[in-house]
Amino acid sequence: MGAEAKLPKERVEALARKYGRLVELRSRRDGGGVPAARDELRALAAEFPGSLRELDTLGDAELRRRAGACAAALSGGAPEPWMAWIDRFHKLMRRALAARASGGGGGDDFERAVLSPPDGRMLPLVLAEVSREFDRPADQVAATLFPSRRARRE
């Protein structure tokens, strides 16, 4: 895929919608508003697997920054590299979850690997695949998409 892969406008629109939703959910949660309904969270996670991790681990400021970056890209600005990475992450995570749900039955190396990932965790496997596809260091991709709480405070 390469580090310079273009992200189609409809994918940026989807990310903008996702981050707008995450900002709203985070604001409600942090502000003591009505908690998100289980069906609401399930629908978001089905469309964007891993987005609930973002909701839980990214602060309000970062969610708003990502929403703003998506809006800027839709207004003619250049998409930031992480946008293509998170879009690919969501697609790969959907594949991984589907492979697990079906029990495998062949598939490619990636789908076979998610059936028994190292330490039983799919996240590192999916992040490693994203880093391979975009020719970026795995720690850079992981730190960009899902920064640790410690890194966000620094």
pLDDT tens digits for 62-87? 999 999 999 999 999 999 999 999 99
Phi, psi of 113 (to 5 degrees): -65, -35
Residue 150 has pLDDT above 60, yes or no: no
Residue 154 has pLDDT above 90, yes or no: no
- Give pLDDT, residue 151: 42
Mean pLDDT confidence for 35-51 = 93
% of the chain surpassing 90 pLDDT:
66
Domain ranges of the chain: 9-153
Comparison of pLDDT for 152 and 75, the residue scoring more: 75
Inter-CA distances, 112 with 15, 87, 93, 97, 117, Å: 28, 22, 13, 12, 9
Query: Which of 140, 60, 52, 135 shows the shortest CA–CA distance to 90?
Result: 52
Question: Which residues, including other chains, have CB under 8 Å from residue 79's CB and lie 6 or more apart?
Answer: 6, 7, 12, 73
Comparison of pLDDT for 14 and 111, the residue scoring more: 14
In tens, the pLDDT along 133-149 reads 999 999 999 999 998 75
In tens, the pLDDT along 93-125 reads 999 999 989 887 678 888 889 988 888 899 999
Residue 57 has pLDDT above 50, yes or no: yes
Comparison of pLDDT for 15 and 154, the residue scoring more: 15
Q: Cβ distance 64 to 54 under 8 Å? A: no
pTM of the model: 0.89
Q: Which residue has the tokens 């709203």?
A: 24
Query: Which of 140, 145, 17 shows the shortest CA–CA distance to 85?
Result: 145
